[in-house]
Amino acid sequence: MKHFVFCMVSFFTCVTLHAQDRSITFDHSSWADIKAKAAKEKKAIFMDCYTSWCGPCKRLAKEVFTRNEVADYYNANFINVSFDMEKGEGPQLAKEYGIHAYPTLMFVDAEGKLISKQIGAVDSKAFLGFGKMSVGGQSLESLTAQYKKGDRSVGFMKTFMTRMEGIHENTASIIEEYFSKTSRDKWQSKENWYFITRYVRTEQSPVFQYVHKNQKSYEQKFSADSVSDYFVEVYRNSIQKAANTIFPVEDLQELKDSINQMNFAGKYKLALECDMASAGRSGDWKAYADATEGLFTKYPEKDTATQLEWLNRVCWTMLQKSSDPYVLQKATKLASTSMQYKKPVLMDTYASLLVETGNFDKAIEIEQQIMAMLKVKADPDFSISDCDAQLDKFNRRKLAVANSNKP
């Protein structure tokens, strides 16, 4: 169903819409002609790799490619092409460039050599950044050769790591090798703090352990909030791994104990995340609901889009995993907060929970609101047919309960 979209999504940042009258101009010539045109005009090629069923691809086309500043930059600096990777030349290009997830945003030179690749949807600011990084840039092939020759200068490493990150390469091993050859008296520089916070993501890393040991020094240089945010990201990564592993659930308690021994602002939030993950692993949905409520009320995410994606996911999990009235009531209360944002997929989760708690009329009312919204503006994650199916289901459930209550 709509709650599980098989595309790469990078928590797409909501774009505030202003009047826009320009968009990226895509050339629909053959791939051979595109490369010839790029060579003649001495430009790189931007390739939008999409599929007809990919929701984030549609949001990119509608909310990012149509931004005036994006259109002006890309039209001036690139030959732009957009391929449905399941039609025409798309399948062959997907095979040639190893494209398996959508959207994939690619930059190649006139010879067809890869300059950079970004897997997943991004906002307009990030998209402009990728373009500026790639215009006139070296191919990945030449950057890799430069790395193999031993270039470890900060400027080169920033470029190289960004390119590796874009194609989902193992940046952890690269950055560990970089720090192993960098003297420790330079580990607290501004440039290396950038590398640490962006790429060092496990507490087992010697680099992380160094930061932990020298926490006060890093806080003085880069602020306590910055260090706390970094610790949260590292430990959250470990929590997520422990929550989705075959290893004993007790690992999460050990992780929580380790976090509690530290001293940084975000540790209390992480402790609740450990409780939530542990409850999910053990199937204790009451404890899961309590931990979820604590996280939502005490430690809301700064980014609204991220918060709503998380809220929808955990409420849907409770709906699917538990029939306990206590759990469903808490999930319903949490999901109700999504109504103010008027996102169809979140509203539908709330309506589905209302049905399970017996409030059929309100659930049907909300689904009808969703239907009215979709008739005005289509949504890539929830269609009119989805809404029709839900309304039919809700009405049948209501009728069945009414019939069962007849004398």
- Interval 220-253: pLDDT, tens: 999 999 999 999 999 998 998 888 877 778 888 8
Over residues 244-268, the mean pLDDT reads 87
By three-state DSSP, how is residue 278 classified?
helix
Inter-axis angle of helices 190-199 and 215-222, to 10 degrees? 110
Nearest-angstrom CA–CA distance, 195 and 158: 8
- The answer, yes or no, to whether residue 2 has pLDDT greater than 50, is no
Given this model, what pLDDT does residue 70 score? Answer: 94
Q: Tell me the per-residue pLDDT of 104-118, one tens digit each, with 9 for 90 and over.
A: 999 999 999 888 888
- The answer, yes or no, to whether residue 193 has pLDDT greater than 60, is yes
- The answer, yes or no, to whether residue 198 has pLDDT greater than 90, is yes
Given this model, what pLDDT does residue 117 score? Answer: 86
Consecutive H or E run containing 149: none
Q: How confident is the model at residue 166 (pLDDT cuts 50, 70, 90)?
A: low
Max CA separation in the chain (angstroms)? 84
Given this model, what pLDDT does residue 5 score? Answer: 36
Given this model, what pLDDT does residue 137 score? Answer: 64
Structure tokens at 83: 């391929």
Q: How confident is the model at residue 303 (pLDDT cuts 50, 70, 90)?
A: confident
Q: How confident is the model at residue 21 (pLDDT cuts 50, 70, 90)?
A: confident
Domains and CATH numbers, the chain: 31-136 (3.40.30.10), 301-402 (1.25.40)
Cβ atoms of 195 and 156 closer than 8 Å:
no
Cα angle vertex 218, ends 217, 220, to 5°?
Answer: 65
Q: Tell me the per-residue pLDDT of 305-352, one tens digit each, with 9 for 90 and over.
A: 788 889 999 999 999 999 999 999 999 999 998 788 888 999 999 999
- The answer, yes or no, to whether residue 263 has pLDDT greater than 50, is yes
- The answer, yes or no, to whether residue 380 has pLDDT greater than 60, is yes
Helices (H), ranges, 42-185: 55-59, 68-77, 90-97, 124-134, 140-148, 154-166, 171-180
